Structure 1
Amino acid sequence: MIRPRAFTVPCRIAIEQSAAHFHAHVELDGDLAVEPGDRVRVHGDPVRVPFGESAVFERTATVVRAGPLLRAWTRAVAYLGLTELYEVSFTSGSLR
């Protein structure tokens, strides 16, 4: 059996919580691409950012690469989930 490949990498977490922006982004060092099925776990204590502020934290993250079967399964499930967004109507004429 082929096991997923796991490794630890430094990362940067940028968090902002304001009226204009509400986001948390994780950037892995070395411009590592995260592919479908891969898992990323950021290590460290939970962080809180008060409303109206932003903060940047340096942490480490463990990346577990998905195997070929899990990667294919994730892509298939994502594609099928996308079809739920299609709106299909069998009525004659437009909806008002």
Structure 2
Amino acid sequence: MAIFKRRQERVPCTVEVSHRFEALHAHVRFNNGAVVYPGDEVLVHGAPVLAAYGEVIVEDRTATITRATWLERLWTRLTGDFDFMELCEFSFSEEIRL
């Protein structure tokens, strides 16, 4: 049945990787305005982008968006808050525990 089949889209994208003191990030922008919804998966094609300290690298690439089925999207929305709560269980401090 078509409602249970995952669809794939190939889209042009821009990858920006920053490895600076002010900003350490990696961003993907879809150049055609595509939007990623809960449960969707994105695969950016090409070799890994490795920025040396102090560099910002911007490259044009192609990405494949695998769209979630309606059931996967519903499941992701229902269980997403639980995954977020797992992140809240961790804290970062200088306290040393033995």
Bigger-Rg structure (1/2): 1
Alignment gaps of 5+ in structure 2: 90-98
Partner of 2:83: 81
Normalised to the residue count of structure 1, the TM-score between the two structures is 0.82
Partner of 2:42: 40
Partner of 1:11: 13
Note the C-alpha offset of 1:80.
2.5
Note the C-alpha offset of 1:51.
0.4
Q: Percent identity?
A: 40
Normalised to the residue count of structure 2, the TM-score between the two structures is 0.80
Structure 1 residue matching 2:26: 3-state secondary structure: strand
Alignment gaps of 5+ in structure 1: 87-96
Please give the alpha-carbon distance, in whole angstroms, between the structure 2 residues aligned to 1:65 and 1:7. Answer: 8
Q: What is the alpha-carbon root mean square deviation over aligned residues?
A: 1.5
